[in-house]
Amino acid sequence: MAVVGHACLILGLACCIYGIVASVVGARSGREALVRSGRRSLYALFALAVIAFVITEFAFVTSDFHFTVVATHSSTTTPWYYRLAAMWSSQQGSLMLWLTLLAGWSSLCVVMLRGRLRDVAPYAVAVLLGFGAFFTAVMLFSALPFETVPIAPVEGVGLNPLLRHPSMMIHPIMLYSGYTLFTIPFAFAVGALIVRRVDAEWLRATRVYALAAWLALGTGIILGARWSYVELGWGGYWAWDPVENAALLPWLTGTAFLHSVKIQERRGMMKIWNASLVLATGTLAILGTFLVRSGVLDSIHAFVEEGNTVAWFFTTLIVVMIASSVYLVITRRDNALKSASRLDSLLSRESAFLANNLVLVAITFVVLWGTFFPLISEALTGTKEAVGPPWFDQYTVPLVLILVLLSGVGPVIAWRRTSWSRLWRSMRLPAIVALLVAIGCAVFRPGNGDVTPQIMFVVGAFAIAVSLQELWRGTRARQAMTDEGPLRAFRLLLARNRARYGGFIVHIGVAVLFIGIAASSSFQSVSDVRLSSGEQATIGGYTFNYVKPTAKLETAAGRLERITLGAQVRVTKDGKFISNLYPNRGYYPAIGSTLGAVSTYFAGESTSEIGLKAGATKDLWVAETPDISSLMPVVRRGDAVFAKATAQGLKPAARAIFLGAALNGLTTRYRSNPPAAQFRIIVSPMVFWIWLGAIIVFIGGLIAAWPSVGAVRGLVRARQAARVAEDLGRA
Amino acid sequence: MDPARKRRIRMIVALSCAVMLVGALAYTSFSAASTAVQPSQLLASTNPGETYQLTGKVVDGSVVRTRDEIRFRVRDRNDKKSVAVRYVGAVPDPFREGREVIIDVRAAGAGAPANSFVGEKDTLITKCPSKFRETTPVAPASSAKKS
């Protein structure tokens, strides 16, 4: 099987090289057959990537440890669904996932656009195949997914327990879908610049892919934040880590692009800006993969192995992408990229969108600077220095406040120009809502008067009110013109102008999300306390009582998976019962350990499962670190007993039974004689709003990205026209 | 006003803002940054009161948890030179001996043992590896081949 997989990669590389040559030569010579052949190379690449992907996944699911990548990332005790996900926990598997998603999304795009953008598409296909060639080459020459050993180990290392979370099955796929989908607008932008046809058509044709990329990447980022919040035992959801920032960068420029593209479609303006944005977004998507996979910056996500050489491949690709992007934009700036019109007034939607773009690009630049500062400072001063979250916050917080405000102002200003009186009429009601919120903040002084979150509450309320007002007005207008009920009118309003009204829903979600971030990060109470059974601590007005310890053995596939030590924590407020929380810590055995029979079970990885009572206004969050030092003398005695018994010929079956009994005894001992445990307790307001905001953004994004009936009709008409043109050409 | 002149003014204002942003970023990042160091660099020289971003591996057998704090030693990635760290705050799940960590530290000051440092609260982060390779697969095969 490994031979077949490896052959698929070789054939895939050959397909890419052939497809690039065929597409470019076909486009330059006008030979349609070659262009078609180039396109089919992309489909062939997808088929080959799927075969290679399935072979690798099959090896993971069946625990075929002949594959080095399987032996070092999976095990028979890893549940089957995590074995599937274990593939992309490896360097090789993640590159394979990248290639498969790239080829899949690219093929879908090329199929959907068949017959349209006939001059641009061959070059776009060549660029997409170029990315395909890059990733197949990396897997053939650097990170080898089909490396095998003649004698398979009897057991693999297993998937890191920290990665055993449902998010592992979807978070990387969403991130990589975002990255790969962003390469599609990049490829079409390059094609459009090469043929000097930078009108709005290529933007309209590829906007849905940019929107899908934005949606997928945003979903991946939020899933990562949620994962961090519930799994890593520190209670945060964002740490400005380079790998987090890597995903945020293309998302920010992608957001800017999705707004500015409207200006080009409407007014034929900002062509240089849009081309630059889309090229930058594609490059940042590759840069994101590079940061995750190269280890060039110190990150908490150490996905990199010793002797890793992919960094050189990625550096070369990024340099080529930047150089060719700059060349194309500079050489086309005076003709193809010349704007068809100018900005009429600063009081116009164009200006608001431009301001939104400037803020988003400024945030991108701040994040890029902070992320790469260790390399910048080392290059300039010879000393590697790093900036922390406060540095990022001091710039991004005010910029985000402006951004949320603009998300309220922009949509209600008319195109070209408007007057102050018309603007006031559109914003009167939202302004009153914002004023009421401001008065509420002044009276109730949430968080002891910390001003920044209160400003966010005010601008967030304003943005939400504007969007709700527009949705309400649209629905009322439909009702006035038809005899539809409010729900039907609302549904049809969304269906008729998905981009506009889906956008309003996205704005509501973004405002809700940032209100949640502002409240939870500013007003939270955090405490690290050490409690014995029966003791309690009061944090944020809530009393947390360590009622009793919990301990159990958990099995998977008939084998011990982990030992779980935890606590029952009773939460009350003013004497009133709120909830029982059960934080715990799972101890996984060290695979292949040379330690004693019992020690092995405490020498592997350990992960926290938090106790969480989530609510609309407050989250009560508890993580526990049990003190296992009191168990260790017993554990060591157990090691000695088993070592002696094994030397005396204890049979494996009997050993397993006795070991199970010994570990059971340990858990009983922990329950009956619990040592004090360390607790991290967080009372955090409005964290729920972050996840709620993200869900609203997702729904709004889906509505905006979903093809409208008109768009489908247009696609069918375009295909028909292309067929007629082809037939006429043949005649 | 002449439209061309207006555009020029807008361009100058926009470029000025961009230059100011870059200047502010450069200034604040250099003044707020912690020097990223490995233990051997800390052993060579430290300035009292200055905060450093220490990166290295937790020394085997060095972790001691007490009631209020955790103590451990951090060594260079590829060397045995190490420094002692005393830390109070959140300890990430992946933290353990042999694991790579990043922590903001400053010199412990007078009265403390030599080459000992105090970690800033809640700055300890542990690398979250996609796999853990302290151990190798059971019964590794003798040779590898590329298929």
Give the pLDDT score at A300. Answer: 56
Contacts of A439 (CB under 8 A, 6+ apart): none
Over range A268-284, report the average pLDDT.
89
Read off the pLDDT band of B145 (50, 70, 90).
Answer: very low
- The tokens describing B66, both together, are 């007490």
Does A671 reside within a domain? yes
Taking one residue from A and the other from B, the number of pairs with CB-CB distance under 8 angstroms is 182
What total of structural domains would you count in chain A?
3
Which residue of B lies nearest to A232 if distances are taken between CA atoms? Answer: B93
Residue A579 and residue A721 share a domain? no
Give yes or no: residues A595 and A703 share one domain.
no
Q: Nearest residue of B to residue A75 by CA position? A: B137
ipTM of model = 0.74
**What are the distances in angstroms from CA A710 to CA A367, A413, A495, A553, A715?**
39, 26, 10, 59, 9
Q: Do A495 and A571 lie in a common domain? A: no
Q: What is the pLDDT of residues A458-479, one digit of tens each?
A: 999 999 999 999 999 999 999 8
Average pLDDT over residues B41-58: 86
Residues of B in contact with A383 (CB under 8 A): 35
| A45, A20 contact by CB (below 8 A) | no
Tokens linked to A341: 């019109």
Q: Do residues A42 and A128 lie in contact, with contact meaning Cβ atoms separated by under 8 Å?
A: yes
Longest dimension (CA), chain B: 82
Say whether both A501 and A639 belong to one domain.
Answer: no
Residues A508, A461 within the same domain: yes
Q: Both A481 and A565 in a single domain? A: no
For residue A185, is it within any domain?
Answer: no
Q: Highest-confidence range of A250-259, A299-308, A310-319, A417-426, by mean pLDDT?
A: A250-259
What pLDDT is recorded for position A281? 95
The answer to whether residues A509 and A542 belong to one domain is: no
| Residues A429 and A453 occupy one common structural domain | yes
Domain boundary among A109, A132, A159: A159
Q: Is residue A545 part of a domain?
A: yes
| Chain A: closest CA distance from residue B140 (Å) | 5
User: Does A548 fall in a domain?
Assistant: yes
Which residues in chain B are contacts of A147 at CB distance < 8 A? 144-147
Same domain, A616 and A706: no
DSSP H helical ranges for B33-79: 39-44
Res. A294: pLDDT tops 80: no
What does the pLDDT read at residue A722? 62
Q: Is the pLDDT of residue A364 over 90?
A: yes
Distance, CA of A356 to CA of A256 (rounded, Å): 7
Rg over CA atoms, chain B: 23
Give how far A599 is from chain B: nearest CA, Å. 14
Task: Identify the residue among B99, B132, B142, B145 best suited for mutation to test binding to A, counting A beta carbons within 10 A and taking the highest.
Answer: B132
**In the 8-state DSSP scheme, what is residue A118?**
T
Q: In what order do the strands lie in the sheet with A525-531?
A: A525-531, A677-685, A618-625, A611-614
> Could you give the percent of chain A with pLDDT greater than 70?
93
Asked whether the beta carbons of residue A157 and residue B131 sit closer than 8 angstroms, the reply is yes
Question: Do residue A665 and residue A604 come from a single domain?
Answer: yes
> Looking at A159, A194, A221, which one is the last position of a domain?
A159
CA nearest to A423, candidates A413, A408, A415, A431: A413
N-terminal to C-terminal alpha carbon distance within chain B: 73
Q: What is the dihedral of CA A386, A390, A393, A398, to 10 degrees?
A: -120
Residues A533-589 have pLDDT tens digits of: 999 999 999 999 999 999 998 877 677 778 999 999 999 999 999 999 999 998 888
For residue A358, the model assigns a pLDDT of 92
**The pLDDT value given to residue A713:** 64
Residue A3 lies in a domain: yes
Q: What is B34-126's CATH superfamily?
A: Nucleic acid-binding proteins (2.40.50.140)
Q: Please indicate whether, in this complex, the C-beta atoms of A162 and B93 are within 8 angstroms of each other.
A: yes
Position A394 in a domain:
no
Both structure tokens of A252: 């920010």
Sorted by sequence, the CB contacts under 8 Å of residue A37 that are 6+ apart come out as A19, A22, A26
The verdict on residue A319 lying in a domain is no
DSSP A166: G
Supply the mean pLDDT for chain A.
87
Strand pairing class (A147-148; B145-146)? antiparallel
Which 8-state DSSP code applies to residue A359? H
How far is the C-alpha of B96 from the C-alpha of A233, rounded, in Å? 14
pTM equals 0.87
Mutate to test the interface with B, among A232, A296, A562 (most CBs of B within 10 A): A232
| CB-nearest partner of B127 from A72, A149, A302 | A302
At residue B92, the pLDDT reads 79
Tell me which residue range forms the domain holding A439: 419-518+697-731
Spatial separation of the C-alpha atoms in residues A638 and A634, rounded to whole Å: 6
In a domain, A320, yes or no: no
A122 and A96, same domain (yes or no)? yes
Percent of chain A that is helix, strand, coil (3-state, to 5): 65, 10, 20
- Stretch A369-373: mean pLDDT: 90
Question: Can you name the residues that pair with A680 across neighbouring β-strands?
Answer: A528, A623
- Domain parsing of chain B, residue ranges: 1-31, 34-126
More confidently predicted of A161 and A405: A405
Q: What is the pLDDT of residue A694?
A: 95
Region at A158 (left for phi over 0; alpha for psi -120 to 50; beta for the rest): left
Residues A11 and A127 in one domain: yes
CB-CB under 8 Å, B7 with A90:
no
B100 vs B80: CA distance, rounded Å: 14
The CATH number given to whatever domain includes residue A46 is: 1.20.120
Using an 8 Å CB-CB cutoff, list chain B residues near A625. 91
Of A120-129, A383-392, B42-51, the range with the highest mean pLDDT is A120-129
DSSP A310-350: HHHHHHHHHHHHHHHHHHHHHHHTTTTT--SS----SSSHH
C-alpha A293/C-alpha A172 separation (Å) is 13
